[in-house]
């Protein structure tokens, strides 16, 4: 099973089992390179094996026993070999909730939290809505949406059945109801039945990385995360955006005054926004917290009186 913990590891071991000694040993085991990334990974591993946050470990003078050191050694060796720490631990944190995370779907990114927050702001004063996430992966967007707005009816679709199984497990884990459907959005009639009653919000973080950029990416991403959720053909990197915009505009996917919100390649928001024209309201490009253009949002016009 992906992400299954192995409980025994091999030395060398730290000379002492206090927090400071174990943390220094763990950083060295992870590769020894000082820096924020190594510190963050070490903290995640220590949070997991200790079952407590950093401040509690300090306050309670936490010590590592033999079993804990063996587990830390195994985890650190897997991370050093290139496996993402989220897959090693089998879980990740997103928008205040915990999610199962493995190779069936992409690891959630902070930029996607920003997409969710920006969209929630735009519907804060509206009543019950129908919400759709296209390319749902781990299910983070519809699950977090439903947790924040339990009155809404929320759907998640993905072409990959295994990703949907993971999403369903995550919904159960977080105690929310989301309607899951295995659908290839590029199929011209795939959403006809679901969109018979249009959606008030459509979210999507579709594949958008041109295949030619794969060689420039981190091996941790390229070798571990699913290709189908990352890459598109070099000849048509906007294929999913074009399809979603056309589905909303021509096939009635989006209701009057409905919002479309999409995460994009940091170099692609201008091209995505150019796909959106009248009668849409002018599309809005939004920067992420790093200052990169990462989101495009647009509202379908209200019904004329």
- Backbone CA torsion sign across 203, 196, 164, 179: positive
Kindly tell me if the per-residue pLDDT of 237 is higher than 50. yes
Tokens linked to 165: 């199984």
Band of residue 303 on the pLDDT scale cut at 50, 70, 90:
low
Give Cβ neighbours of residue 267 (< 8 Å, ≥ 6 apart). none
Q: What is the pLDDT of residue 220?
A: 87
Mean pLDDT calculated for residue range 185-206: 96
Tokens linked to 13: 């071991």
| Cα–Cα distance measured from residue 81 to residue 65, given in angstroms and rounded to the nearest whole number | 24
Give Cβ neighbours of residue 66 (< 8 Å, ≥ 6 apart). none
| Cα–Cα distance measured from residue 284 to residue 273, given in angstroms and rounded to the nearest whole number | 8
Residue 90 and residue 102 in contact, taking contact as beta carbons nearer than 8 Å: yes
As beta bridge partners, residue 157 has 134, 181
* Tokens 């420039």 sit on residue: 216
Interior angle at CA 115, CA 110 and CA 120, nearest 5: 125
Q: What is the pLDDT of residue 258?
A: 97
Q: What is the pLDDT of residue 32?
A: 65
Enclosing H/E stretch for 99: strand 97-100
Give SS3 for 295.
strand
| Cα–Cα distance measured from residue 140 to residue 170, given in angstroms and rounded to the nearest whole number | 8
Average predicted confidence (pLDDT) for the chain: 93
Domains and CATH numbers, the chain: 19-89 (1.10.8.10), 97-299 (3.40.50.150)
* Of 175, 171, 2, the residue nearest 86 (C-alpha): 2
Burial (CB count within 10 angstroms: exposed 0-12, middle 13-18, buried 19+), residue 97? middle
Q: Express each pLDDT in 70-94 by its tens digit.
A: 999 999 999 999 999 999 999 999 9
Q: What is the pLDDT of residue 305?
A: 46
Q: What is the pLDDT of residue 36?
A: 84
Mean pLDDT calculated for residue range 42-59: 95
DSSP label of 65: -
Q: What is the pLDDT of residue 90?
A: 96
Band of residue 9 on the pLDDT scale cut at 50, 70, 90:
confident
| Cα–Cα distance measured from residue 49 to residue 130, given in angstroms and rounded to the nearest whole number | 40
Kindly tell me if the per-residue pLDDT of 268 is higher than 60. yes
* Tokens 């002018």 sit on residue: 282
Exposure of 183 in the CB half-sphere (CA atoms within 13 A): 22
Q: Express each pLDDT in 83-137 by its tens digit.
A: 999 999 999 999 999 999 999 999 999 999 999 999 999 999 999 999 999 999 9
* Of 256, 260, 222, the residue nearest 241 (C-alpha): 260
Tokens linked to 98: 């915990």
Kindly tell me if the per-residue pLDDT of 189 is higher than 90. yes
Main-chain dihedrals φ then ψ at residue 182, nearest 5 degrees:
-85, 110
CB 304: neighbour CB atoms within 10 A?
Answer: 6
* C-alpha distance from residue 236 to each of 15, 19, 74, 184 (Å): 56, 51, 42, 17
């Amino acid at each position: 099973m992906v992400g299954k913990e192995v409980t025994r590891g091999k030395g060398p071991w730290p000379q002492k089992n206090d927090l400071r000694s174990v943390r220094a040993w763990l950083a060295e085991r992870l590769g020894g390179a000082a820096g924020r990334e190594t510190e963050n990974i070490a903290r995640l591993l220590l949070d997991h094996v200790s079952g407590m946050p950093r401040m509690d470990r300090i306050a309670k003078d936490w010590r590592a026993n033999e079993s804990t050191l063996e587990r830390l050694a195994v985890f650190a060796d897997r991370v050093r070999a290139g496996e993402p720490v989220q897959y090693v631990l089998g879980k990740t944190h997103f928008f205040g909730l915990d999610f199962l995370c493995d190779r069936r779907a992409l690891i959630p990114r902070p930029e996607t939290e920003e997409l969710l927050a920006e969209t929630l702001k735009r519907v804060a004063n509206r009543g019950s809505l129908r919400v759709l996430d296209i390319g749902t992966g781990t299910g983070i967007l519809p699950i977090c949406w439903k947790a924040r707005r339990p009155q809404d009816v929320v759907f998640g679709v993905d072409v990959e059945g295994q990703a949907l199984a993971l999403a369903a497990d995550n919904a159960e884990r977080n105690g929310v109801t989301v309607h899951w459907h295995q659908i290839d959005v590029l199929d011209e009639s795939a959403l006809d039945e679901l969109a018979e009653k249009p959606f008030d919000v459509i979210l999507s973080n579709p594949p958008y990385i041109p295949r030619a950029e794969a060689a420039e990416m981190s091996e941790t991403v390229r070798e571990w995360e699913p290709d189908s959720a990352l890459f598109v053909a070099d000849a048509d990197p906007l294929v999913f955006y074009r399809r979603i915009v056309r589905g909303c505009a021509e096939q009635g996917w989006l209701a009057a005054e409905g919002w479309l919100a999409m995460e994009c390649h940091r170099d692609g928001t201008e091209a995505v926004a150019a796909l959106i024209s009248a009668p849409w309201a002018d599309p809005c490009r939004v920067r992420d917290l790093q200052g990169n253009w990462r989101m495009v949002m647009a509202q379908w016009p209200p019904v004329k009186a």
